């Protein structure tokens, strides 16, 4: 016969093992949309020994990709974005020269599965409510249950350490706002968040790649959060730039880490 308490113990003990292990990581990602998932996947692909954890505030991961365009669950990518979908075994269809479509549900499911199988530990329904900053360097995240924050309970959070933090929270660029709120200068021309511009898909796709960068010591931004911080336009349901931004931030963090390791050795 099934023992309900054993079922509960199995869930609690297994989850707590994962959460305790996440208290110190190499890279902590805030946001489980396409760019955050892709960043985690490529970090593990390039350096399998790294411990990568990802926190998504919603119950579901995938960000806005689930809904395609206006809840028509198809997405569009260009040639470079298609290469990433190919790596995730997502089927694509050529629409016309330079444009490929993919099923949004298949895309999110495939990206999520490959990311988890690569070894990224994903925690859903957890929000980042603050950052750990020592001196002028970010050292970790402060987390709480999303439900606690949504209903306004006064419950103290928990903290975790990470060598690098990625803000992949999309349009709200939540980590960047947390740092700016604490009067910490970001690496933008005006010293703070510029805010995303009106829709301009072509420019937005280009800007998101150049805006994928470090915004504060140990804090990197990718995906739509990158354009929100640096004033780039939004793009709508074309997702190649999001996927490429996730790959680029992974490559940049690995490059910095390798450079740092070589200097210290």
Place of tokens 């390798």: 258
Q: Extract the tokens encoding 52.
A: 């990568």
Domain with residue 39: its CATH number is 3.50.50.60
**How buried is 151 (Cβ within 10 angstroms: 0-12 exposed, 13-18 middle, 19+ buried)?**
exposed
Does residue 4 sit within a domain?
A: no
Does residue 193 sit within a domain?
A: yes
pLDDT tens per residue, range 13-28: 999 999 999 999 999 9
pLDDT tens per residue, range 203-220: 999 999 999 999 999 999
Phi, psi (deg, nearest 5) at residue 162? -150, 140
Does residue 6 sit within a domain?
A: no
Residues 194, 177: Cα–Cα separation, whole Å = 11
Q: What are the distances in angstroms from CA 143 to CA 124, 128, 137, 203? A: 11, 5, 18, 34
State how far Cα 10 lies from the chain centre: 29
Does residue 13 sit within a domain?
A: no
Q: What is the number of domains present in the chain? A: 1
Residues 33, 170: Cα–Cα separation, whole Å = 8
pLDDT, position 189: 66
Place of tokens 């040639």: 79
Does residue 229 sit within a domain?
A: yes
pTM: 0.96
Does residue 210 sit within a domain?
A: yes
Does residue 196 sit within a domain?
A: yes
pLDDT, position 184: 81
Residues 161, 165: Cα–Cα separation, whole Å = 10
Give the contacts of 79 (CB within 8 A, at least 6 positions apart): 98, 100
Residue 261 pLDDT > 80, yes or no? Answer: no
Does residue 60 sit within a domain?
A: yes
Phi, psi (deg, nearest 5) at residue 160? -140, 155
Q: Give the range of the structural domain holding residue 157, as residue numbers without chain letter.
A: 21-264
């Amino acid at each position: 016969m099934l023992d309900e308490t054993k079922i509960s113990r199995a869930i609690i003990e297994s989850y707590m093992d994962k959460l305790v292990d996440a208290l110190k990581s190499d890279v902590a990602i805030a946001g489980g949309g396409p760019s955050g998932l892709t960043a985690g996947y490529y970090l593990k692909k390039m350096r399998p020994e790294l411990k990568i954890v990802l926190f998504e505030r919603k119950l579901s991961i995938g960000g806005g990709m689930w809904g395609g365009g206006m809840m028509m669950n198809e997405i569009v990518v260009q040639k470079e974005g298609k290469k990433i979908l190919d790596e995730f075994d997502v089927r694509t269809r050529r629409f016309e020269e330079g444009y490929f479509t993919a099923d949004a549900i298949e895309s999110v499911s495939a990206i999520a599965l490959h990311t988890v199988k690569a070894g990224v530990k994903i925690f859903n329904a957890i929000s980042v409510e603050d950052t750990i900053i020592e001196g002028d360097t970010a050292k970790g995240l402060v987390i709480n249950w999303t439900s606690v924050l949504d209903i306004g309970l006064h419950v103290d959070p928990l903290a975790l350490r990470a060598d690098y933090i990625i803000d992949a929270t999309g349009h709200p660029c939540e980590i960047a706002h947390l740092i700016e709120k604490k009067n910490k200068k970001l690496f933008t021309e005006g010293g703070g968040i510029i805010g995303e511009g009106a829709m301009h898909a072509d420019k937005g796709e280009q800007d998101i790649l150049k805006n994928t960068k470090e915004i504060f010591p140990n804090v990197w931004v990718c995906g739509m959060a990158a354009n929100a911080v640096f004033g780039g336009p939004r793009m709508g349901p074309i997702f190649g730039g999001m996927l490429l931004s996730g790959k680029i931030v992974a490559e940049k963090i690995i490059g910095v880490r390798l450079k740092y390791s070589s200097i210290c050795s």
